[in-house]
Structure 1
Amino acid sequence: MTLLSVQNLTVRRGECPVVDTASFSIAAGECVGLIGPNGAGKTSLLRGALGLLPFEGTSTLAAMPPKRRASQAAWLPQTRDIAWPMTVERIVALGRLPYLARGASLSPTDQAAVDAALTRMGLDTFRTRLATALSGGEQARVLIARTLAQDTPLLMADEPIAGLDPAAQIATLQVFQTLAQEGRAVLTSLHDLSLAARYCNRLIMMGAGRIIADGPPQDVLTPDRLAQVFRLDAKVLDTPDGPIVQPLGVLS
């Protein structure tokens, strides 16, 4: 089942297209990594597909009324500051807002979704702590849990593992991989190419606003494309856990 279809999506900054006629679809069961250098257009593509930026072309999500869109796709932006001194559990519970009538309390179903999200992100012992007292990496995990509590068919995340320690990065991507195996879908931008190759069954590579390649990691991550798009001299090592990108230098 297709959860997102984007056709000829163009996002402009002034007259300049920062996303240029991008087309792709995301199906249930996929964990898709969106990769590319800084400035490639990854964030603008995600935000345009959600209807958060003006765009040309079509997106099935952007065409939905806001309430329906919130029940179909959860969104984790790149900026993830927690400003209010709320408990971890209460922040995660905000993910249930699309399903609650104004002023309503959490139902048993809502509470179960919150509990499951806390457990997935290893935050059970944090639930009564103030989120503002946590480290930056811990706060990031809380906001990922809030997204999981939304319990949507599609999860879209912009650099979700930035600022996390290596163990938390792997744990988060394992959660995303499990969501896909359960029949949902994930579209996430990532900078660690080896982790993207290991935990995503498909990669979309962007460069200068365009989709350069779209397919299985071993087909997308080639030395020629890494040189072309990232200006990176790199080896791509084939391992049982997927390709590993070994950077050797920067091309002039």
Structure 2
Amino acid sequence: MTLLTLEDLTLRRGPCPVVEGVSLTVAEGEFVGLIGPNGAGKTTLLRGALGLLPAEGHSSLAALPPEARARAAAWLPQVREIAWPVSVEALVALGRLPHHDKGDDAVETALERMGLGAFRDRRATELSGGEQARVLIARALAQEAPLLLADEPVAGLDPAAQIAAMRVFAELASEGGAVLSALHDLGLAARHCTRLIVLSRGRIVADGTPREVLTAETLASVFGIRAHFADTPEGPVFQPLDTLEGA
């Protein structure tokens, strides 16, 4: 089942297109990494897909009424600041608002998935930045939407927390949901995503499995780097090695 359809989506800043003519689908079972250099349009694309920015073209999510959209997709923005001195459990429970219920089981599952069981009674504003990021991921998980759109969800997390979060996203996909996430860490993307979409100057330039997408040619032309990619008994390993001369 397709959970997101974009058709010729274009978003502009003034007369200039930031995202231009993007068409894609995201289906159940996919963990899609949206990758590209800074300024490629990843955040703009995600916000346009959700209907948070005016856009030309079509987004199946943006076409939904707000309440139906909140049940269809959870949104985790890049800026993650917690301003309210409420408990971690109360903050995670806000993910249940689209469903008009407390969703105790969903909240409990989200807390456990993000390793926050021992934090439930602590004030969220008293946690470290990385811990707050995990709380906000848990809030999105508690929403129990079939699709999760996330903008740099593992930025600022320590390595163990990054891996744990990426595993959770992969589990959501394996359970029949889907994740579309902007990512900068190509190593994590190669290891955990089922599919990568490369965005450059607002356009899709590659779409496929990590092995199909992270080619020497694409890495050179889009990112200006060379890298090592190996299939190992423990899964794919991708490591950027150096920038290209003149990149």
Give yes or no for TM over 0.5. Answer: yes
SS in structure 1 of the partner of residue 97 of structure 2: helix
- Asked if structure 2 preserves the Cα contact closer than 8 Å seen for 1:34 and 1:188, the reply is yes
Number of aligned residue pairs: give it. 245
1:238 aligns with 2:225: no
Task: Choose the corresponding residue for 2:220, options 220, 227, 238.
Answer: 227
**Structure 1 residue ranges (4+ consecutive) displaced by more than 3 angstroms after TM superposition:** none
| Structure 2 unaligned residues grouped into runs of 5+ | none
Give the corresponding residue for 1:87: 87
Give the corresponding residue for 2:32: 32
Deviation at 1:152, TM superposition (A): 0.6
SS in structure 2 of the partner of residue 242 of structure 1: strand
Give the corresponding residue for 1:249: 243
Give the corresponding residue for 1:168: 161
**Map of 1:1-252 to 2, 5 A cutoff?**
1-100=1-100, 106=102, 110-240=103-233, 241-252=235-246
Deviation at 1:243, TM superposition (A): 4.4
Whole-Å separation in 2 of the counterparts to 1:34 and 1:211: 10
One-letter amino acid of the counterpart of residue 150, structure 2: A
Q: List per-residue Cα deviations over 1:163-205 (Å, max 9, x = no partner).
A: 0000000000000000001000000011111110111000000
- Asked if structure 2 preserves the Cα contact closer than 8 Å seen for 1:4 and 1:60, the reply is yes
SS in structure 2 of the partner of residue 238 of structure 1: strand
- Asked if structure 2 preserves the Cα contact closer than 8 Å seen for 1:223 and 1:236, the reply is no
- Asked if structure 2 preserves the Cα contact closer than 8 Å seen for 1:94 and 1:146, the reply is yes
Deviation at 1:237, TM superposition (A): 2.9
SS in structure 1 of the partner of residue 155 of structure 2: coil
SS in structure 2 of the partner of residue 233 of structure 1: strand
TM-score normalised according to structure 2 size:
0.97
One-letter amino acid of the counterpart of residue 4, structure 1: L
- Asked if structure 2 preserves the Cα contact closer than 8 Å seen for 1:234 and 1:246, the reply is yes
One-letter amino acid of the counterpart of residue 69, structure 1: R
Whole-Å separation in 2 of the counterparts to 1:122 and 1:130: 16
Cα gap change, 1:231/1:99 in structure 2, threshold over 3 Å: closer, same or farther? same
Whole-Å separation in 2 of the counterparts to 1:169 and 1:190: 11
Whole-Å separation in 1 of the counterparts to 2:44 and 2:245: 26
One-letter amino acid of the counterpart of residue 14, structure 1: G
- What RMSD, in angstroms, separates the aligned Cα atoms of the two structures? 1.0
Whole-Å separation in 1 of the counterparts to 2:168 and 2:226: 31
- Asked if structure 2 preserves the Cα contact closer than 8 Å seen for 1:80 and 1:143, the reply is yes
One-letter amino acid of the counterpart of residue 153, structure 1: P
Whole-Å separation in 2 of the counterparts to 1:183 and 1:227: 35
One-letter amino acid of the counterpart of residue 245, structure 1: Q
| Structure 1 unaligned residues grouped into runs of 5+ | none
One-letter amino acid of the counterpart of residue 92, structure 2: V
Whole-Å separation in 1 of the counterparts to 2:216 and 2:230: 10
Q: List per-residue Cα deviations over 1:19-45 (Å, max 9, x = no partner).
A: 010010000010100000000000000
